[in-house]
Structure 1
Amino acid sequence: MDTSQHWQRGVFRLRDLPFLRFNVRMNEPQLTRRRSPDHRNERWEIYFGDVRAGVISVRSGNPHDTDPWDWSCGFYPGSHPRECTNGTAATFDQARADFEVAWRVFLANRTEADFQEWLDQEAWTARKSAMWKAGERLPSQRPSSIMRCACGEAFDSHQPGAVLIHVPHITAARRSA
């Protein structure tokens, strides 16, 4: 099956590419595309396993005499933002071909840790969104009664004994300020 047939089905296996056959393990994830239902214009999100590797989409708001398709390849975090590439193309097939070339270069410079970094960030973002949706606050947004004294010690301002010990330090620091 040639490369264009894989893309038409929406499934793209790296091991099916002749230029990668010698260097790809059989258990490596597939490069797949999914149509994004959240956009008015045609937009395809490209995934490598569970990691979003890039996007191919119809550009909006561009003049009629410019390329209607654009693509972006790469992910962050997990790579340096300058390693991500993008471009425009006259047709979907040309955008796909340009993406394939860019992906080969990008993938050659990735480690498993890079992919894990992106997955960890996605998991944190999902957890944070679920907390907000449930009306919960993030741990850093919860009110705290812990204060830091001018002497450098942290104490609970709701504990009278701790407050009495540090009142002289705090008062002296405010007077000198």
Structure 2
Amino acid sequence: MTPIELAEKLHARDVVLLAGRLLLSLIFVHEGLQLATHFEGAQKAMAALGVGTPLLIATIALQLGAGLSVALGILARLGAIGLGLFCLMTASLFHTNFASQNELLHFEKDLAIAGGMFILALSGPGRLAVDRVLSGLAKDTKIDPPIEQHLSVGETSLPV
């Protein structure tokens, strides 16, 4: 049995996608919970940055809603796009003082997370997702495109 056959049998791709989804979403769910449970302090801190209460509430809703969406695999592609765009906006609006090493690090972190979210949006959540379970009730419904084998080089890729 080749490594590719073994990985396909164990559904390693789906396990890795699940782990990636959980790791990517953790920061958003955690931060959304922190903002929600410490709302008054968050409100004061955001006001100092020029962010009003309606935008703070929208941020909490996005972080919790899209974060759980990605983690659970419920409309994960949409949640990943939303969080990816959120990271790009956060980087460009709040982390542009590159003279500060800390701000540069946050800028780069936000760009990296956005990249991961956009990759997730393209790849899909995999088979270990609530969407898959719900659609699986209607028999053999496929959410993700099949992986094609390139016979000449033995690589796998998603059809485009």
TM value normalised by structure 1: 0.21
Bigger radius of gyration among the two: 1
* Greater RCO, 1 or 2 (C-alpha within 8 Å, sep 6+): 2
